Structure 1
Amino acid sequence: MTQRGLTYDVDAVVLDIEGTTSATGFVVDVLYPYSRARFGALLTERADDPDVARAVAQVREELGDPRADAAAVEKALNTWLDEDRKATPLKTLQGIIWSEGFARGDLVSHFYDDVVPRLRVWHAAGTRLYVYSSGSVAAQRAWFTNSPEGDLTSLVSGLHDTENAGPKQEPESYRRIAESAGVEPSRLLFLSDRPGELDAARAAGWHAVGIRRPGEPYYEQGVGGHAEAGAFDEITISTTGSTV
């Protein structure tokens, strides 16, 4: 590993979304209300959908009530939404709703101006890009498909969420992602705005950089003992001899 300033000799970069590539405000002010308004209809009209049924079962398990009806499940989802709780069934159902909203053209995702140009540069130079977000894989795919700059999914090699990787503040989740990607931990760089996530990635042997953007929830808290950047173009990736 070679690190000079914010230069990292790695094979892959793993991206958080909310607060890192994209504004938390967009998620909270646009996407959350959109899903809140549609939970009820989803639960009553599509209860037999396998993904919906699995998420509902997970909500009931969290509540300790295997008989919880649609109204009780919706109430729990809205409570978790108010708490900004990273509950997997909440994220699954949001992902279904958001995917359909993006497909209909109701929604277009948000990326900070420095992000997409840098992702294109890194990808073109051979750096593999992955996503690890508390939002579901379905939501991530919709997010990258329906960006203001068009479909960005060709830039991304894999998508990870709390269901297929595990909680974002546990080192084991990052070990699981490294194994899935087939990349040595020391050859992975994680970008996130949350100190607990950066700590977990580092504990798993990854490199980690905290992204600090003014106005984001974790800006004042800082990134602990991690290197930090205010934008993606402050980070240079060195991969197999090329530096970008």
Structure 2
Amino acid sequence: MISLTARWVVVDIEGTLTPTSQVHVTLYDYARPRLGPWIDEHADDAVVADAVAQIRSLGGLSESATTDELVAVLHGWMDADQKIAPLKTLQGLIWQRGYAVGDLTAEFFPDVAKRLREWHAAGLTLAVFSSGSVPGQIAFFSRTTDGDLRDLFTAHFDTVNAGPKREAPSYKAIASALRAVPEETVFLSDVPAELHAAAEAGWQTVGLARPGEPFADADFSPHPAVDSLTDVEIS
């Protein structure tokens, strides 16, 4: 059991709150065939138009690139699991619609919802830092097997409004946005490199070494690590 004293708790999603397969299989497979139609059907949407412009630039495509060419770049990024902003933006919009119409339901590890509710009820300020876009995060928590969990969180952060997850300045930016004291802030993640960055920013850290997940056997030192949120007490 790990016992900490803090006022702010920031959580990762993939591998920490939900199985990695929920993102890499369920959500990716849902978004993949819908990217092209979404681009075509929302061509006049400023957010989509900006994402398309970024895809052309980052993918080395011409202004006359077809939707199929844009999608080929997006699929390549997905296959390589690259956290690139325009991809995350389009995925987030598609997932947002999927949750809204009932096509998607987020599934968490069994210990997650109860613990998050307990921390929230105890007066802790909860926030999310994930590579998935903020709209995608909010949609994710809106429809889960444990109900609508959006009200538990004060703020959401991604690699666009905070920065890379493996760099300390991102955590400093989040602390500033939350008006949080770094020493009284805890970050929970399944990725040691992210915990290193949070610790460099002065945060407390806890690793989630969940059985069967990609980082289950990783070296989390010097961070304490558990395999369930049940083993983390924060007051």
| TM-score of the aligned structures, taking structure 1 as reference length | 0.93
Does the aligned pair in 2 maintain the 1:190–1:206 contact within 8 Å? yes
Helix, strand or coil at the partner of 1:120:
helix
> 1-side partners of 2:118 and 2:128: how far apart?
17
User: What is the letter of the counterpart of residue 234 of structure 2?
Assistant: I
Q: Deviations over 1:186-218 (max 9, x none)?
A: 111000001111111011111111101111111
> 2-side partners of 1:197 and 1:167: how far apart?
9
User: What is the letter of the counterpart of residue 46 of structure 1?
Assistant: H
> Paired residue for 1:242?
none
Matched, 1:112 2:99: no
Matched, 1:77 2:74: yes
Matches within 5 A, 1:89-104: 89-104=86-101
In the alignment, structure 2 segments of 5+ residues that lack a partner are none
Matches within 5 A, 1:1-244: 6-65=2-61, 67=63, 68-238=65-235
> 1-side partners of 2:220 and 2:69: how far apart?
38
Aligned residues: 234
Helix, strand or coil at the partner of 2:225:
strand
Helix, strand or coil at the partner of 1:157:
strand
Bigger shift: residues 160-169 or 63-72: 63-72
Question: What is the CA distance between 1:27 and its match in structure 2?
Answer: 1.3
Helix, strand or coil at the partner of 1:38:
helix
| TM-score of the aligned structures, taking structure 2 as reference length | 0.96
> 2-side partners of 1:64 and 1:131: how far apart?
33
In the alignment, structure 1 segments of 5+ residues that lack a partner are 239-244
User: What is the letter of the counterpart of residue 219 of structure 2?
Assistant: G
> 2-side partners of 1:37 and 1:74: how far apart?
9
Does the aligned pair in 2 maintain the 1:57–1:66 contact within 8 Å? no
Helix, strand or coil at the partner of 1:209:
strand
User: What is the letter of the counterpart of residue 143 of structure 1?
Assistant: F
Does the aligned pair in 1 maintain the 2:209–2:218 contact within 8 Å? no
Question: What is the CA distance between 1:66 and its match in structure 2?
Answer: 5.0
Helix, strand or coil at the partner of 1:101:
helix
